[in-house]
């Protein structure tokens, strides 16, 4: 028998009332996080990511659909589900600033009804790199240290699932790297995670699977290759040329295999960035301009993500940030 997914969401819906209207912030979402994997939920502002994380964390009830954590339904079996969840919110405060790191952790363990031994506490602080600051007041901590303390709080009870809602938001790049490597270490030790992030680099570095959502609905789902295939982009080329003419754009867009064209000024030259369907990059002799420099590489997540959102915008479903289901009469 195969082990149950650590997190499983099925046909998940959450509606909110706004005046006399009801709007769907999450509209039929399905996702799974197998053991030891990271699933990233990405999408524009208002896409429904935090609402999904809040439902998974048991803080918010779904309107319909189901969520289970290690087979425990978060609505019917909240306590058991909660015992397997650690929640980390980006930019969160929430510690007693005049208390030390270890006093805070003891307090939050008690709130969760968990008994934490001195050894377990020092192990957790050690793991997040705060062992030498265990007795320091949190008010003396940098933002990066506070964020590491949040992760310590989330892993105190050694949960199977971490819910990481923008865990590096507002952190400087060096500290963000530290937090990501801590997440990687936890995942290497067997923890699973649902991650939301606006950093495509973070998602590329951490996620095994990706769910792209907008307006509460899934646009694409799978590993990086599957997202690329859904977006229809294989490679991205950057061409340096002397002079740009707008007619080149329509020439390029009507060529087979071109997915999008972006143009940027680069000093006295112009950079033309073309996203191609997989395997469609032609020799530069087939381009409408003389190429002075050229670089082609596999499409990154960011290009694929932007292409998926652009398609959604073109198909006319991008107007409302979430779907209106019940207009006031
Ligand atoms: N408590 C609430 N009451 C009413 N509407 C809400 C509530 N919480 C969220 N929403 C709405 O649900 C939609 C989804 O919001 P959510 O915060 O889940 O998006 P998000 O993808 O996390 O966005 P961001 O990237 O900006 O954090 C938004 O339109 C938001 O206004």
114 lies in the same domain as 257 = no
- The residue whose CA has the least distance to atom 31 of ligand 1 is 46
110 lies in the same domain as 241 = no
Which of 15, 19, 42, 51 has most ligand 1 atoms within 8 Å of CB, for mutation? 51
DSSP string, 264-325: EEETTEEEEEEEE-TT-PPPGGGSSS--SEEEEEEPPHHHHHHHHHHHHHHTT--SSSSEEE
Answer yes or no: is the C-beta of 165 below 6 A from any ligand 1 atom.
no
Position 320 scores a pLDDT of 43
128 lies in the same domain as 241 = no
Answer yes or no: is the C-beta of 51 below 6 A from any ligand 1 atom.
yes
CATH number at residue 290: 3.30.70
CATH number at residue 87: 3.40.50.300
195 lies in the same domain as 283 = no
Domain boundary among 197, 228, 259: 228
88 lies in the same domain as 159 = yes
* CA-wise closest residue to 156 among 245, 74, 86, 216: 86
B/e letters for 9-43, b = 16+ CB within 10 Å, e = fewer, are beebbbbeeeeeebbbbbbebebbbbeebbbbbbb
223 lies in the same domain as 238 = no
Is there a domain that residue 306 lies in? Answer: no
Å from CA of 313 to ligand 1 middle:
19
Position 65 scores a pLDDT of 98
Residue 310 has pLDDT above 60, yes or no: yes
Condensed to tens digits (0 to 9), the pLDDT of residues 73-119 reads 999 999 999 999 999 987 667 899 999 999 999 999 888 888 889 99
Position 84 scores a pLDDT of 94
Residue 323 has pLDDT above 70, yes or no: no
Condensed to tens digits (0 to 9), the pLDDT of residues 15-33 reads 999 888 999 999 999 999 9
| Atom nearest to 52 CA in ligand 1 | 18
**ipTM score assigned to the predicted complex:** 0.97
- Confidence class for position 326, pLDDT limits 50, 70, 90: very low
Å from CA of 52 to ligand 1 middle:
9
Answer yes or no: is the C-beta of 215 below 6 A from any ligand 1 atom.
no
- Confidence class for position 319, pLDDT limits 50, 70, 90: very low
Answer yes or no: is the C-beta of 91 below 6 A from any ligand 1 atom.
no
Domain boundary among 228, 254, 273: 228
| Atom nearest to 53 CA in ligand 1 | 18
Å from CA of 190 to ligand 1 middle:
31
196 lies in the same domain as 249 = no
> Are 74 and 55 a contacting pair, CB within 8 Å?
yes
Position 321 scores a pLDDT of 44
Condensed to tens digits (0 to 9), the pLDDT of residues 166-181 reads 999 888 888 889 889 9
Answer yes or no: is the C-beta of 45 below 6 A from any ligand 1 atom.
yes
Position 1 scores a pLDDT of 58
Q: Which domain, by its residues, includes 23?
A: 7-228
Condensed to tens digits (0 to 9), the pLDDT of residues 248-306 reads 999 999 988 998 899 999 999 999 999 999 889 998 889 999 999 999 999 999 999 99
Is there a domain that residue 216 lies in? Answer: yes
Answer yes or no: is the C-beta of 16 below 6 A from any ligand 1 atom.
yes
Position 324 scores a pLDDT of 46
Condensed to tens digits (0 to 9), the pLDDT of residues 203-252 reads 999 999 999 999 999 999 999 989 999 999 999 999 999 999 999 999 99
Is there a domain that residue 93 lies in? Answer: yes
Å from CA of 107 to ligand 1 middle:
30
Position 316 scores a pLDDT of 63
Parallel/antiparallel/unpaired status of strands 217-222 and 21-33: unpaired
| Atom nearest to 50 CA in ligand 1 | 22
């Amino acid at each position: 028998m195969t082990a149950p997914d650590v997190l499983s969401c099925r046909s998940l819906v959450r509606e909110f009332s706004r005046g006399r209207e009801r709007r769907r912030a999450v509209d039929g979402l399905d996702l799974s996080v197998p053991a030891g994997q990271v699933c990233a939920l990405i999408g524009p502002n208002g896409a429904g990511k935090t609402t999904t994380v809040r439902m998974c964390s048991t803080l918010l009830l779904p309107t319909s659909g189901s969520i289970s954590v290690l087979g425990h339904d978060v609505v019917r079996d909240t306590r058991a589900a909660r015992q397997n969840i650690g929640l980390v919110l980006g930019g969160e405060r929430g510690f007693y600033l005049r208390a030390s790191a270890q006093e805070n952790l003891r307090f939050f363990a008690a709130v969760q009804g968990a008994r934490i031994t001195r050894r377990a506490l020092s192990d957790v602080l050690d793991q997040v790199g705060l062992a030498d600051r265990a007795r320091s007041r949190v008010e003396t901590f940098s933002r990066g240290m506070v964020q590491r303390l949040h992760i310590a709080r989330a892993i105190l009870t050694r949960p199977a699932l971490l819910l990481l809602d923008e865990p590096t938001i507002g952190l400087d790049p060096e500290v963000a790297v530290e937090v990501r490597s801590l997440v990687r270490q936890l995942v290497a030790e067997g923890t699973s995670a649902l991650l939301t992030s606006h950093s495509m680099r973070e998602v590329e570095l951490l996620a095994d699977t990706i769910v792209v959502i907008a307006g509460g609905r899934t646009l694409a789902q799978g590993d990086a290759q599957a997202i690329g295939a859904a977006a229809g982009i294989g490679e991205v080329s950057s061409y340096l040329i002397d002079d740009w003419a707008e007619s080149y754009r329509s020439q390029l867009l009507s060529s087979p295999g071109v997915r999008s064209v972006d143009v940027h000024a680069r000093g006295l030259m112009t950079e033309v960035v073309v996203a191609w369907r997989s395997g469609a990059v032609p020799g530069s002799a087939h381009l409408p301009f003389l190429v002075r420099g050229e670089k082609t590489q596999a499409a990154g997540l960011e290009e694929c993500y932007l292409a998926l959102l652009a398609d959604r915008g073109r198909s006319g479903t991008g107007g409302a940030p979430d779907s209106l289901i019940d207009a006031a009469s």
